[in-house]
Chain A
Amino acid sequence: MSFRHLRAVIRKEINHILRDRTTFVLVMLVPTAMLFIMAYALTVDIKHVPIAVLDYDRSPTSRAFIQQVTEGEDLDLYAQVDSLDDIDNLLTRGEIKAALIIAPDFEHDLLSLRGIPLQIIVDGTEPKSGGFAVDHIGGRAEEFISEALASRIRALNVNVSLDSLQPIDLRVRALYNPSLKPRVDIIPGLISMVLGFPALSVALTLAHEREHGTLEQVLVTPVGRAEFLLGKMIPYIIVGLANVIIMPAIARVTFHIPFNGSFPLFFLLSAVFLFAILSMGMLVGVFMPTQPAALALSFLVIFFPGFFMTGIFFPIASMPAEMRMEAMSLPGTHYATITRGVFLPGVGLDVLWPNVLALLGMGIAFTAVAALSFRKKLG
């Protein structure tokens, strides 16, 4: 390994990143922009879901119940309708996402302590809004019934405490993210995904050299394969680390995500992650002859798995066994654990060392395979 060769390739590549506008935007601006867009888009709170109500009872109690359900910003009463056909109509036109149907005996059943028959119809094509409506109506109905029951019991003058009617008293306490805000959880995970962009650039840069013929001119020099590949990778690790400084800062200032761990540790572990993911990108670049091909394969092996399989959105524990195995072999999975661990509980190497080892192993393995598969030949 000649240091002079390595330095020459690094210097050339840094000049390329700084002077080629497309590359610069791709590695410096896109990750930050992605973080912003995805953070906002993925963590939108559901509000103002339009619903319709079909009230067969039309009693003071049912009116009070409707009032309670539609109070606040969560559900909006779009229409009071008279028949199931109207509900069907509104649902198919997408004007409402759910409908609440109150049975004719609502008041009577409630007051005689027989429970309340309720029906909710939801638009299954939008399960998020529908599910939200179900949870919300269910919650409100429970509160409503408790109150109604309590006053009924008091009116009956029976010596029963309300608690005895609700034998379970469950209190949930969320650690590290007390209000269970999704953003706090997602953003550290997102950072791990967004850093895939430098990896994409590495995959593209090799294909770019192949397409522009510059690779041909380099291949006739005595430069070593590992010197060339590492020399191309190192500048992107540096650029990625610039992002590693920028992004936690954005997370803290813009999204108020707490950063509980040690920043130097986070920085160091990020460098290890970048080494792993960039060698994956390099491997893609070694095998793909053109930029479109490199782009397509990068999306397939770097971004999509990074999105769906690293546990950022779907917990790894609930995946089938073979998918779990695959998830563990992706750098993003380990880095998502690291980012979340360092950001939220503020854990250190004593906990994260297996992930660090995994990343190092992957980086070395991918680089070795890339260097061995890279031939100093055309075609």
Chain B
Amino acid sequence: MSFESANEVPPIIETHALTRDFKKTRAVDSLDLSIRPGELFGLVGPDGAGKTTTLRLLAGLLNITSGSAKVAGYDLARQPEAIKRKIGYMAQQFNLYGELSVLENLSFFADLYDVEVSELRERTERLLAFAGLTEFKDRRAAQLSGGMQKKLALACTLIHQPEILLLDEPTTGVDPISRREFWDILTDLNLAGTTIVVSTPYMDEADRCLRVGLMYEGRMVVCADPQQIRARIEGELIELRPDDWQAACALIESLPGVLEVQTYGNLLHVLVDSADKRLPEIETALRKHGLTYRGVRRVTPRMEEAFISLIRRLEVD
């Protein structure tokens, strides 16, 4: 075992106390991150936690305030241009040329990345097919749907077959079907060996990652695989749908053994020390106060509950 770990491949992305300040805020604060080749790494955290800044730093788009980082074996501060040939970066908003066609956008980036002319045709066709854009290849990028634009953007970042993909909320504003298709593509790429760092506001997407890093106020507060993160949630989870959720929420929070109540619309998720013990107590209390409810059941915690619970604890501190 120890022999194997000694032989382990070095990380493809490694940061030490990576820090970036903007005028008034510290967007990324002493970030230590180590990502292995072939990993699918998810970055989650509330808006303004520093996810976008982290990805932009790794893409060489921002100067480092302090700390250091190595990407694909190159020093981020000193060799950003060498890194650029190894990475594909996709920003959160649509960043391609709207007045150019799908094909023109692809060949523009192929030229800038010096893709071998002999391989260009085959690679373009494969990417178009892979992104489902073959029949739209002459359409202007501005006239594509949101989902197709994202896939085109991904195709453009893949044109030079990068070792590392940095994706900033690639599925925000995309319909659920396109979102699923997009993640199927990402999974295929990852299986083919591409290292992917992806930020996402969706917890089901975070669940598909090999490891997830939770950022909060510029710091990486948790970095583990999804199971471990779910396991960090204390206690067990009960779900119920009261008719007067505000009153029910206030009541349940005051009961013994209740650790936390999370609301999803009028659905309540109650974290308790022991579901078997507390479930009857909660039902009794609700009935006693004349609060009606439906669909009470025990559920397994998801990333979503874990995430909210972790953020809440951070906010209290």
Contacts and interface: CB of A to CB of B under 8 A. Distances in A.
Interface of A: 2, 4-5, 7-8, 11-12, 15-16, 19-20, 212-214, 216-223, 376-379
A4 B114 contact: yes
Interface string B103-137: 01001110111100000000000000000000000
Interface residues of B, number: 33
Nearest to B82: A222
26 contacts: A2-B114, A5-B112, A5-B114, A8-B107, A8-B112, A12-B100, A12-B108, A15-B99, A15-B104, A16-B99, A20-B99, A213-B95, A214-B96, A216-B91, A217-B91, A217-B156, A219-B61, A220-B61, A221-B109, A223-B112, A376-B60, A376-B80, A376-B81, A377-B61, A377-B62, A378-B62
A214 B113 contact: no
Contacts, number: 75
Contacts of B98: 212
A117 B107 CA distance: 83
A32 to B, nearest CB: 23
A222 B59 CA distance: 12
A20 B140 CA distance: 12
Contacts of A11: 108
A104 to B, nearest CB: 78
A233 B85 CA distance: 25
B97 interface: yes
A220 B157 CA distance: 10
Nearest to B142: A19
Given A5-B112, A377-B61, A217 B96 contact: yes
B41 interface: no
Interface of B: 22, 56, 59-63, 80-81, 84-85, 87, 89, 91, 93-100, 104, 107-109, 111-114, 140, 153, 156
Contacts of B108: 8, 11-12
Mostly, the B contact residues are loop
A16 B84 CA distance: 25
A2 B113 CA distance: 11
Given A11-B108, A213-B93, A213-B95, 15 more contacts: A4-B114, A12-B100, A15-B97, A15-B99, A20-B99, A212-B95, A214-B97, A216-B61, A217-B156, A220-B59, A220-B60, A221-B84, A221-B112, A222-B81, A378-B56
What are the 4 closest A-B residue pairs judged by CB atoms, nearest first?
Answer: A8-B111, A217-B95, A221-B112, A213-B95
Contacts of A218: 112
Contacts of A20: 99
B230 to A, nearest CB: 34
Contacts of A214: 95-97
Contact of A220 (B84, B93, B96): B84
A377 B89 contact: no
A7 B111 contact: yes
Nearest to B159: A221
A379 B62 contact: yes
Given A216-B61, A377-B62, A222 B85 contact: yes
Contacts of A219: 61
A19 B112 contact: no
A212 B95 CA distance: 7
Nearest to B80: A376
Given A15-B100, A378-B61, A222 B113 contact: yes
A88 B160 CA distance: 81
Contacts of B109: 221
Nearest to A379: B62
Among B22, B96, B97, find the residue whose CB has the most chain A CB atoms closer than 10 A: B97
